[in-house]
Amino acid sequence: MSEPVVTRFAPSPTGYLHVGGARTALFNWLWARRTGGRFILRIEDTDQKRNTPTAAQQVMTDLRWLGIEWDEGPDVGGPNGPYCQSERRDLYDKHIRQLLDEGKAYYCFETSEDLDVMRQEAETRKTGFIFRRPERSPSEQDAQKARAEGRPVTVRFAIPQDVPIVVNDIVRGQISFNPAELGDFIILKSDGFPTYNFACVVDDRLMDVTHVIRGQEHLMNTPGQQALWQAMFPEAPLPQYAHMSVTVSDSGGKLSKRERPKALRTAIQALPDLDTARLAEVGGIGEEEVQTFLAGESVPDMPAIDAIAKHIGVHLPEINIVDFCKSGYLPETLVNFLALLGWNPGDQREVMTVEELIESFDLTRLTKSNSLFDRQKLVAFNTEHLRMLPGEKVLGYLKAYLTEVQSPLLKADDETLLRIIRLCEGARTLEDIDNKSRFLFVVDDKIEFDEKAVKKVLLKAGALDVLHVVRDRLATMDEYTEQALEEMLRGLAEEKQVGLGKVAQPLRVALCGTTISLSIFDSVNLLGKERTLARIDAALERFHSQVQSE
C-alpha cells in the first residue's frame, strides 16, 4: 500500500488570510479529504520582525469560517507538534549542526553593506547576484570570534554543484535547474532563527508531508528546498510538488493585498476637501502616517484602512477572507469559487457543494494557465448558494453577519428574519438583505436620507403631491396586506396615467431614506399603518420647504 497522504498549509502570521493563501489551504485540505489523508496547519512564525500577535488566531478563525478544519495544528495538537516554528528551534539547531558537521553548510559573516557591494558589482557586470562560497569554510572558532566582534553570523547551505536539480511537478512536469545559477542561500539568520527555506524542509520531513501544494511563486524555492531535503534526509522520498497557477485580478495584474490600500488612496485623493487630520482620527493613526500613505510611501494596518474607507463611504475590493465575510458572502460560495481558480472537475459543473468538490478533486486537473478572479462570477455564485441553502442555515449566517456589521436588524427575532430572507429571494449577498430591510428597525425619526435619492425622487416636480395622495389613501385603508397595498398603488398609478414607479418610489424614499428596500408592498406591510403614516408625514414636512425654495 502507498503511504497515506499528508498535506499542510503553513502561513506566516503577518496579517489577515489573503484569498491566495485561502486557495492554497483549500487545495491541500480538499486533497487530504479526497484521499482520506491528514491535513496539517503549521504556523511559520520565524520572521520575528513581521509577525503580528493576533494574525495567527485570525488566520485560524478565517479558515474555520470557510469550513476548513485541520487534523493537526496549534490548537488541536497532534503527534508532530509543536506546530509553531518559533517553538521548534531545538529541532532546527540539530539539523543545522548536522549540515555544518558534514560540510554541507558553512558560516558567513558578511554585513548587509558587504552584500550590497556584491550586488552592485554584479549589476555593474550585468550578471545576476549569486553568492559564491569561500574557498575555506570558516571554523567554529571563526564564528565565535565574529560574534565577539559584533559581526552578523549566518549559516549558508552549500548547494551541490555536480548535477542539475530536477523538480518533478504534478502541474508543470519535469523542470531542470542549474545549481550554479542558484547560489548558496542562508538557512540560519543572524538572530538565531532559521529561514523559511530551511525550516519548511525540516518540518515537512518530520511531519511526514507527502504533497506540497502551493502557489507558482514558490516554484523557484523548490530546487533549493529539494537539495536541502536530499542533503539531510537522503533515504526519505521527496514530497510530490504541485505549483498552482497565478490568480489575476479583474483589474489586471496579480491579485494582490495592495489593491485595497491602492483603491483607498485613489478615493482619498479625489476628495474635494481633504482633511488629513480627520482621516487620521478616524483611522486611529497619526496624521503623518496618512500623509506618507497618500504619497505611496507606507500602508497603514488593515483596520485603519477599513475605518477610513467606511468614513468616506468608499467600497474597497475584497482581498482578505475577512473582507468577504464583512461584505456578506457565504463561506460555501468562497470555497466553491476558490476551488475553480486553477482547477476544474472535468465536466461542465460550476456551482458545487463542498461534498461535490471533495468527491471530484484531483491534482491532475490543476491547470497551468492563469485564473481570473472574476468578481461578477463570484456574486452570481453567491446568489445561487443563497438560493440553495436551507433558510435556517442562511439565518445563522445572516445573524453572524449582522453582529459583525452591528446592523439594526439585530433587533429582529428569528421568525422576522426568516420572513425577510424569504422576501429577499434573489439577493446577491447578506449585505443586500441587510440593506433592503434595515429601515424597518431604525427609529422612525432617525431615518437617514440619501441625498441622491431625495434629489432624484422626492424633489422632482409633483413627487410630494403624489406622496400626499398616497398618504391619504393609506390612512383610509383598513387592511395592510400585500395584495391590498398593491391594488391601491397600482390603481393610483393607472388613475394618474403614470408608471408604478412614479407612485411607489416617493413612498419608498419617504419610508426608507433610499431607493433600496424590500418590495414597496412588503415594506409598508411590515412597517404597519402607524409607522408608515408617521414617516410619510415627517418626510412631507422635511422636504416641502425645499421644493418651495426651488
Cell of 45: 512564525
- Residue 79 φ/ψ, nearest 5 degrees: -75, -10
Q: Annotated catalytic, 257?
A: yes
Confirm if 45 and 13 have CB atoms less than 8 A apart.
yes
From the candidates 104, 189, 254, 257, give the one annotated as an active-site residue. Answer: 257
Alpha-carbon distances of 545 from 240, 445, 505, 539, 549, rounded to whole Å:
74, 18, 20, 11, 6
455 is in an annotated binding site: no
The sign of the CA dihedral 532, 533, 537, 543 is positive
- Residue 77 φ/ψ, nearest 5 degrees: 75, -160
Using DSSP's 3-state secondary structure scheme, residue 162 falls into coil
The sign of the CA dihedral 184, 186, 188, 194 is negative
Residue whose C-alpha cell reads 425622487 in the numeric block: 457
Give me the half-sphere count of Cα atoms (radius 13 Å) on the Cβ side of residue 162: 1
Q: Which helix (H) or strand (E) holds 156?
A: strand 154-157
Q: How many other C-beta atoms lie within 10 A of the C-beta of residue 504?
A: 24
Instruction: Answer whether the bond into residue 82 is a cis peptide, omega within 30°.
Output: yes
Distance CA 90, CA 359 (A): 40
| Exposure class string for 515-532: b at 16+ Cβ within 10 A, else e | ebbbbbbbbbbbbeeeeb
Query: Quick one: CA torsion of 243, 249, 252, 257, rounded to 10 degrees?
Result: -90
User: By CB neighbour count within 10 A (0-12 exposed, 13-18 middle, 19+ buried), where does 112 fall?
Assistant: exposed
For the CA atoms of the chain, what is the radius of gyration? 30
Distance CA 522, CA 507 (A): 12
3-state secondary structure 366-410: ECCCCEEECHHHHHHHHHHHHHHCCHHHHHHHHHHHHHHHCCHHH
Question: Which residues are annotated as part of the binding site for ATP?
Answer: 257
Residues assigned a catalytic role: 257
Question: Which residues are annotated as part of the binding site?
Answer: 257
